[in-house]
Amino acid sequence: MRFPAAKYRWHGEGRRPPTGLGIASILVAGATLLLANAGSAMALTLTSSAFAPSGKIPSKYTCEGADLSPPLAIAGVPDGTKSLALIVDDPDAPDPKAPKRVWVHWVVYNLPPDSQGLPEDASRAGLPKGAVTGVNDRKKTNYGGPCPPIGRHRYFHKLYALDVTLPPNPLTKSELEAAMKGHVLAQAELIGTYQKGDP
């Protein structure tokens, strides 16, 4: 039985009706966009108003200045996060041209998952309730700023979103990394540089 063609005319204002391949392309494009948006929403980020990524760290945050910890902003903490951990270290010690060790400047963990960042001079301004400062390579539990003996060093600020809360006793960087193993949901990194004599 044949039906009148007029009843099934495409009303797309002169456009050709979509073929099966065209519909499939639209569906794939939509799914790709949804996945891209979901991925960007989950990205953990760490930034600072004091310096740009890979930029120079102002001297006030170093041993040549007031030795304050820089302000840090946190965003994109994933669902399921129970705590955040921060490690600041220098892989260029003592000389970037002949590095021999990674020098640890700051270890902080058990930051609440709703933390939006840390203020300038966080050790004295006050860390969020429950946060613990670990032991740095100066054998202290506070922030120790950049103090490179020679050359321009890189300072890695590494943030981790964890699915656990860690014991409250002060840990070293290596102890913290061991405790975090298998519990990292996401991580972010901010690098700053410093050379003695920088303003």
* pLDDT value of residue 123: 84
Torsion angles phi and psi, residue 104, rounded to 5: -95, 125
Rounded Cα distance, 136 and 103, in Å: 8
Q: Which residue has the tokens 């040549």?
A: 64
- For every residue of 86-123, DSSP letters joined together read EEEEEEEES-TTS--EEEEEEEEEEE-TT--EE-TTHH
Rounded Cα distance, 135 and 142, in Å: 8
* pLDDT value of residue 27: 41
Reported pTM: 0.79
* pLDDT value of residue 35: 42
pLDDT tens digits, one per residue of 87-128: 999 999 999 999 999 999 999 999 999 999 999 999 888 899
**Nearby residues of 124 by Cβ (< 8 Å), 6 or more positions away:** none
Tens digits of pLDDT across the chain (199 residues):
444 444 434 444 455 555 554 544 444 444 444 444 444 456 999 999 999 999 999 999 999 999 999 999 999 999 999 999 999 999 999 999 999 999 999 999 999 999 999 999 998 888 999 999 999 999 999 999 999 999 999 999 999 999 999 999 999 999 999 999 999 999 999 999 999 999 9
CB neighbour class for 35 (10 Å; exposed up to 12, middle 13-18, buried from 19): exposed
For the chain, the straight-line distance linking the first and the last C-alpha, in angstroms and rounded, comes to 87
* pLDDT value of residue 171: 97
For residue 56, list its beta bridge partners: 193
